[in-house]
A and B are shown apart, each in its own frame.
Chain A
Amino acid sequence: MIAVTINGRHHELDVPAEMPLLWAIRDVVGLTGTKFGCGQGLCGCCSVHIDGRLARACVTPVGAVNGKHVTTIEGLSADRSHPVQQAWIAEQVPQCGYCQSGQIMAAAALLRRHPHPSDDDINQAMSNICRCGSYQRIRAAIRRAAALLAQGGEEAS
């Protein structure tokens, strides 16, 4: 049994410890906002926060999160009120939307480490792939979220 708290809710998962966290979240717990894109840690679609740190769930064995707190896109805010989500809406970032859960989780983590990132910081930190090419809007949205946070927006979770 793996004991893990996901978005504040406790789960006891009867799965092999080596099962990637991604599939435990999606197929076992049933939260499908976290996406599968590559399964090799290369695209960032599966980005989640583990005890507040950014991680790629497809290359994180669920055994490694035993006793930890995981936040997925569903848990970032209850009502899309997280400054990064607000900025994403304001900049109309998503196209197909498939990469966006991961992009948002990565951006939220970046802003916690780095409240005022430059474009270079953003380019370096955001290694998530978007095949629809929302990159320019992601840069703008991260700058906007940084400004929202500076104005005292909700603390990134």
Chain B
Amino acid sequence: MSGVLTRAHFLRLTSSTAAGLVLAIGLDGCWHAPRTGIGDTEGDGAGAFSPSAWLRIDPDDRVTVVLAKAEMGQGVATGLPTLIAEELDYPLERIAVAFAPSEARFAYPQDHGRLLTGGSTSMRSSWKVLRQAGATARAMLIAAAAARWGVSPASLTTRDGAVIDPAANRRATYGSLAATAAQLPVPANVPLKTPDQFRLIGKTTVRRLDVPAKVDGSAVFGMDVKLPGMKYAAIAMPPAFGGKVRSYDDRAAKAIRGVVAVVQVPQGVAVVADNTWAAFEGKRALQVVWDHGVAAQASSEQFFAESERLARDPSAGVIATTIGDVEHVAGRRVEAIYRGPYLAHATMEPMNATADVRDGRCEVWVGTQSPTVAQLAAAQYAGLPLERCIVHNTYLGGGFGRRTYPDAVGAAVAVSKTVGMPVKVVYTREDDTQHDFYRPMSVNAIAGVLDDRGNLVGLSHTVVSESVFHWFLPSLANRGWDRVSMDGAAETVYHIPNFTAKYVDYEPGVPVGFWRAPDANWNIFVLESFMDELAATAGKDPVAFRLALLGDNPRAANVLRLAALHGGWNGPARPGVARGVAIGPWNGSLSAMVAEVSMTGSLPHVHHVTAVADCGQVVNPDVVRSQMESAIYYGLSAALSGKITIRNGRVEQGNFDTYTVLHMDQAPGIDVITVDSHDSPTGIGELGVPAIAPAVANAVFAATGKRFRSLPFSDPS
């Protein structure tokens, strides 16, 4: 089996309390003694060879790849080892995978010691580093064999984890060379394979390493961590944002069988119990009197009204981009206001974290997009120096940006510290929905100018929303406009001679955060819906109207043409079915989609989506397809019915009955076409999100003449 972390291994890992260990899983699927020596050759007396932090070859031929990136479904636990296996000439399926804990040495050089997974950058940032790691190790293993056999390295080759001497018909496995290789100097600039030499990268035969453990229940998620003597905790958190505990009565909670303690922590009031259910029941029985804080009267209607006022106020906000002079360009002016709701992430696995704070140390187990951020939170709530805190990562039951935020880690650490026992904090689904870092609500004022031939000669786009960075790293928001909040608005793929983009930071105090393809997931809905409005006003075909503006962007023109071609844009549609098109750029990658929609009453039913993806070099074609499918469904789910509303300062939705998400019967068939490219990979995990909602909205317009300028489609407005 592949050596991806499974429960049996995990239990043995967790019985150890050594700090800083990385778990290694053997080729046989058995767990071997944890070592502190991963990533360096010192400290490992067993003669392991580890020329970089992400690769270790043991004398018994075990090859371990340590992932600097989190596996949240997007396939890095396969894609990253693929890069190493390709250059190392080692069978991918025999590679063991471990998740990097919160130690700076596992971060890539360009990441300055920070471990963070997001922005669809995992493959892009691993592309050179990990191939180099594999190629360097291979060169050193060849050098070790050459020295042993007294031949020239140039006369040797490698295959399936062994160095081969064809002239003398002999071979030595990597493991048998590991101790020798570990003594050699690390060479610089070892040449990498050229694409024609790839036998794994871009090949359809490569299967995900994590699938076996995900069909038999053995994959370990944060939710599945179990430590000896561990208790379970549920947290009553302030229902209104900015609220605080005034007082509480825990008598009824403590009467619940299995409840062992009720404690106040900075996050709220924690009910600690012998099992999750008792903790949930205890939380339900708890009587808390809250100070609701200043936001207690706030509602999303007020936020929208104020945002709309700001969107129309010429003096508000900061200019992000100016080209030409859109104010004074002559032509026909078209204007629109768009409104986007808050969205929850609703990862399938509710937020949770397990912490053990004892004896001046803090150890955390969590599925996180950032062990580094989680470690900072652990240190803060443990009141310990950073180096006394360590975070171990697990599989993530969905990330989508949500698992960048360490709120559950902070809570678990605070509770464990208070009760002096290892504790797993579990959010209920309602907690998860009501204590998220939401996709910001947004009001966008957009205007276009068409010349007398119907060409777009001017565009202005104003975004009023909460700053995503304000809630993450305020220092990055200091430029006056937030690059995340403006993604998809500050730049477009189109050549428009007069263009202005403006950001208005509006902070009503609702926590906002990264939500798959932030915030192109909304801004591109506005732009691409509006492009359709402009095309209609100009009396032009939506594809032709866009192509006319893509003369100097051949990559974007290409994805659009391919989508039109494969989506049958110019052919007849089935009766009752209309098509819509949109382009969705995301962080260096490009997609275009054609959606086929019919109406069921006032609601669109999406039958089919043809999606084209240009993400540079495809490393794993099937993973690219699955990520496009995934992001399209995720974006469609939000477009059809996703909406978080605030009333009396709190979120009105709770479980999946009120925050409804896409089900099987709403899931269209999806065809994914990838562009052949040998450019460096640019990322795929979020690329499918931005274009899907506008493609559907544009199809709805084609079907009904009704223009949706707010989402979700299920909204009566």
Contact = CB atoms under 8 A, between A and B. Distances in A.
Verify that A and B bind, or say they do not: yes
Interface of A: 15-16, 19-20, 23, 26-28, 30-40, 42-43, 45, 72-74, 76-77, 80, 85, 88-89, 92-101, 104, 122-124, 126-139
14 contacts: A32-B220, A35-B349, A36-B426, A89-B207, A93-B211, A95-B626, A96-B398, A101-B217, A104-B215, A126-B664, A131-B348, A131-B398, A132-B630, A133-B637
Contacts of B397: 35, 96-98
A80 B276 contact: no
Q: Choose among B208, B216, B669 the residue with the greatest number of A CB atoms under 10 Å from its CB.
A: B216
Contacts of A92: 207-208, 211, 622, 626
Nearest to A34: B217
Contacts of B634: 131-133
Contacts of B633: 132-133, 135
A99 B397 CA distance: 8
Given A129-B656, A131-B398, A96 B72 contact: yes
Interface string B337-361: 0000000001111100000000000
B624 to A, nearest CB: 12
B276 to A, nearest CB: 5
Contact of A131 (B276, B428, B661): B661
Given A27-B232, A27-B277, A96-B398, 19 more contacts: A20-B277, A36-B276, A37-B348, A73-B217, A89-B215, A92-B208, A92-B626, A94-B211, A96-B395, A97-B395, A100-B214, A101-B217, A123-B664, A134-B626, A134-B629, A135-B662, A136-B667, A137-B626, A137-B629
Contacts of B218: 33, 74
Nearest to B428: A39
A104 B214 CA distance: 10
Contact of A73 (B212, B216, B274): B216
B418 interface: no
B257 interface: yes
A35 B216 contact: no
Interface in B1-52: 7
B664 A133 contact: no
B429 A38 contact: yes
Nearest to B688: A133
Nearest to A124: B665
B639 to A, nearest CB: 13
Given A23-B276, A94-B211, A32 B426 contact: no
Given A37-B348, A96-B349, A129 B217 contact: no
A37 B349 contact: yes
Contacts of B224: 32
A36 B232 CA distance: 14
B313 interface: no
Contacts of A136: 629, 667, 669-670
Contacts of B626: 92, 95, 134, 137
A42 B656 contact: yes
The list of the 3 closest CB pairs from A to B, nearest first, reads A33-B217, A133-B633, A98-B397
A88 B349 contact: no
Contacts of A73: 216-217
B212 A89 contact: yes
Contacts of B346: 131
Contacts of B215: 80, 85, 88-89, 93-94, 100, 104
B211 A132 contact: no
B173 interface: no
B375 interface: no
A88 B626 CA distance: 13
A95 B630 contact: yes
Contacts of A124: 665
Q: Choose among B213, B274, B348 the residue with the greatest number of A CB atoms under 10 Å from its CB.
A: B348
Contacts of B274: 27
B277 to A, nearest CB: 4
B462 interface: no
B331 interface: no
Q: Choose among A20, A32, A73, A139 the residue with the greatest number of B CB atoms under 10 Å from its CB.
A: A32
B260 interface: no
A16 B656 contact: no
Interface string B391-407: 00001111110000000
Contacts of A101: 217
B487 to A, nearest CB: 21
Contacts of A36: 223, 276, 350, 426
Contact of A133 (B349, B399, B631, B657): B631
Q: Choose among A16, A38, A93, A124 the residue with the greatest number of B CB atoms under 10 Å from its CB.
A: A38
A131 B347 contact: yes
Interface in B452-475: none
A96 B212 contact: no
B210 A97 contact: yes
Q: Choose among A27, A130, A133 the residue with the greatest number of B CB atoms under 10 Å from its CB.
A: A133
Contacts of A38: 429, 655-656
B275 interface: yes
A65 to B, nearest CB: 15
Nearest to B397: A98
B242 interface: no
B220 to A, nearest CB: 8
Contacts of B211: 88-89, 92-94
Interface in B272-324: 274-277, 280
Nearest to A104: B215
Q: Choose among B214, B428, B657, B667 the residue with the greatest number of A CB atoms under 10 Å from its CB.
A: B214
B396 A39 contact: no
B348 A27 contact: no
Contact of A31 (B217, B622, B657, B669): B217
A105 to B, nearest CB: 10
A37 to B, nearest CB: 6
A39 B429 contact: yes
B356 to A, nearest CB: 17
A39 B216 contact: no
Contacts of A37: 348-350, 429
Interface in B72-118: 72-75
B221 interface: yes
B546 interface: no
Nearest to A127: B663
Nearest to B622: A92
Interface string B226-270: 100000100000000000000000000000010000000000000
Given A27-B275, A34-B217, A98-B349, A127 B208 contact: no
A38 B700 CA distance: 32
Contacts of B524: none
Interface string B191-229: 000000000000000011011111111111101101000
A43 B223 CA distance: 16
A32 B217 contact: yes
Given A42-B656, A89-B215, A98-B348, A35 B223 contact: yes
B470 to A, nearest CB: 26
B667 A32 contact: no
B594 interface: no
Contacts of B662: 129, 133, 135
A135 B217 contact: no
A90 to B, nearest CB: 9
B632 interface: yes
A125 to B, nearest CB: 9
Nearest to A33: B217
A40 B664 CA distance: 19
